[in-house]
Amino acid sequence: MHLSEQEIIRREKLKELAQLGIEPYPAPLYPVNNTAANIKALYKGEENKADFANVCLAGRIMGVRDMGKANFAQLQDSTGKIQLYIKRDEIAPGEDKSLYDKVWKHLTDIGDIIGVKGYVFTTKTGETSVHVLELTLLTKSLKPLPVVKEKEGETFDAVTDPEFRYRQRYADLIVNPDVKDTFLKRTKLINTIREYLNAQGALEVDTPVLQSIPGGAIARPFITHHNALDVPFYLRIANELYLKRLIVGGFDWVYEFSRNFRNEGMDRTHNPEFTVLEWYTAYKDYYWMMEITEQLVEKIAIALHGTTLVKVGDKEIDFKAPFKRVTIYDAIKDHTGIDVSEMDEAALREACKSLGIYPEASMGKGKLVDAIFGEKCEGNYIQPTFIIDYPVEMSPLTKKHRSKPGLVERFELMVNGKEIANAYSELNDPLDQRARFEDQVKLMERGDDEAMYIDYDFLRALEYGMPPTAGIGIGIDRLCMLMTNQPSIQDVLLFPQMRPEVLND
C-alpha cells in the first residue's frame, strides 16, 4: 500500500491514541441533541440562551485557529458549519492537561469526527459559537481532505476536478457544501412529484428490473444470465409494458420511479443507469397528459425555487403553464426549410445528406426523421415546448392519430434544448401492436440493434383488453439538472458510472 507522508503521520497518531488508552473508533451511540443549522437559526442571545445551555453536537473538524491555551475550531455536521471555542482548562479541568495539550492539539487533525458538549454564546465579533466543556474523539480520519479555501463564509477555491468529485463523491460532499444542496433538492423534487401523484389518486408500484425481454423502448440493453433458470435476462430499458399490464388488470392510474439501464454512450446528458418516472392513466389521452405534465413541472419549480423562473446556465427558463406546442414536421420545416411530411425513406435519406447528416443503412423512416430533428431542431427549444404528432414509424407503442393519417398521438417535452419527457396516447389495439412489433423485427434484421423485440405476453395482455390510456416517461435526472442548474448528468447522480479505477491496494 502506497501512503503519502500525511497518511503515515496519521497512522502514527492512531497508535499514540491507543497508547494513551483512547479508542479512536468508539461505540456509535453519542447523545446529539442539536445541529449547527438549528443553533444558528434559533439562538437569540440573552433572549433564549437558557434553551442552549446544554447542547451536544457531533461533526467533522474543518478548521482550527490555534491561540495557545484556547482554540477556535470549525465543526461541520450534516446541516452546515458552526464555530467552536475550546479552552484548555475547561476540557481538561484537572492537573492532567493531556486531553488538550496532547490529544486535541497534536493527535487530532482536520477531517476527524468529534463530539462536543457545551453552551452557545456570541463572540465579540458577533459569531454564534459553541463554548466546549467536553470533547470526545469519535472517528480518526486517516486520509487528509482536499484543501478548500474560504474567506468570510465564501468559498473561493473549491475542489472542481470532475475525476475526483465523481469518483470520490463522499469527499466531494464533505468539502463542497453546494453539492449536498443539489441532492437535497433532487429528493425534494421527487417528493413533490410523489405527493402530487398520490393526491391525484395514483398508485405507486414496483415492476421487474430483470426482464426476459427488453421492452418498452428503443434502446440497446445490458444482458446478464440467470444461473438457476439457465437463460439470459436483460436489465430493463423501460418499465412501460409492465405498467400497461397493470392497466389491463384494472388499475386506473399507476406510476413508478424506475431505474433503467441502457448499454449506450455516455455524455453530459446520458448515463447508462438513470431514473425515469413513468405513469399510465386509463381513459385519458395525450392532450390531457400535456396539461397534467405542465402543471406538475410548474409545481416542481415553485417547490424548489418559490417561482416558475429558474436560472439554467446563462438563461432564465419560465416553467409557467401552459407550454408552447409545435408539431415535429413544423419544427423541422421551421429550422431546416424542408417539408419532410410526405417523404418516403429514400427521400428522407437525401434530405439528411443535404443537411450534412449521414445516417446508417439500418435506419428506417422513423430514425431518419428523428435524426433530422435531433441534429437541426432540438437544441433550439430553450423554453418549455411540447413537440407533438410524430410519424408512426418513430413510435411503435403509440396510438395512431385520430385525425392525421400516418401520425401518432405523441409528444416530447423539450427544455433547454433537450427532451425531458416522452408521452403517448397508448396503443391498445392488439393487432396493430403485433404488426408494429413485426416491423421492429424487420429493422432488427437490417442491423438495428436498438429495435424492439416482440413481447408475446404483452400482446396476450392487450388481447384481454386495455382501456384507452395515456402514458408518460419523465427523465428525473435531466429534470433535476434543469431545476438545480447543473451542466452535467453526473452532477445530479451521487455515484455516476465511470471507467474502473486502478488502485494500488
CA distance 420 to 472: 11
**Dihedral class, residue 76 (left if φ above 0, else alpha if ψ from -120 to 50, else beta):** beta
**Which residue pairs, CB below 8 angstroms and at least 24 apart, start in 355-362?**
360/447, 361/446, 361/447, 362/443, 362/446, 362/447, 362/448
Encoded amino acid at 72, one letter: F
Distances (CA, A) of 131 to 28, 113, 403, 439: 24, 17, 74, 74
Coil/strand/helix, residue 357: coil
Q: Which residue ranges are tagged as binding site?
A: 412, 419
The CB-side HSE value for 449 (13 A sphere, CA atoms) comes to 7
Q: Are 119 and 131 in contact (CB under 8 A)?
A: yes
Tracing cell 503515515 back to the chain, one arrives at: 8
Q: Is 306 exposed, middle or buried (0-12, 13-18, 19+ CB in 10 A)?
A: exposed
Q: Would you call 495 helix, strand, or coil by DSSP? A: coil
Q: How far, in whole angstroms, is CA 254 from its chain's centroid?
A: 22
Give the 3-state secondary structure of residue 445: helix
**CA end-to-end span of the chain, whole Å?**
5
Instruction: Classify the C-alpha dihedral 341-342-346-350 as positive or negative.
Output: negative
Show binding-site residues for Mg(2+): 412, 419
